[in-house]
Amino acid sequence: MDNIVILTKEAALQVKDMMKQNETEDAYLRVSVKGGGCSGLSYGMGFAHEVEEGDTQLEQHGIKILVDKDSAPVLNGTTISYKQSLMGGGFTIDNPNAIASCGCGSSFKTATREGTPEEC
């Protein structure tokens, strides 16, 4: 499962900038899935300093990435990009496992996991 998460070069550069701003250059980027959102599941991204039991470790474009064992099957093959526009920039997530998502684009469900849908 080396391609659980695919981080584009643009996304990696943005993560490096964020790590520098937060003085966490030695941290891991933790990518996860949790229950919630309009469609039942939502993405989580943050910095972690320790590897937890069951984590899959990846490294792409100089970024060390952690994915927990429960999130790995749901994220398998997911591409994380960073897009810049006139309105600012933001991360975009393309998950081939998502069969439905909400209008905001941050909540989804898969064929095997519906999560815990909430009101928008």
Domain boundaries, the chain: 5-94
pLDDT value of position 109: 57
Q: What is the pLDDT of residue 112?
A: 63
Q: How far is CA 71 from CA 14, 22, 33, 93, 119, in A?
A: 23, 25, 5, 14, 23
Q: What is the mean pLDDT of each run of 10 residues along the chain (120 residues)?
A: 88 96 94 79 92 96 96 94 85 85 59 59
CATH-assigned architecture of domain 5-94: Sandwich (2.60)
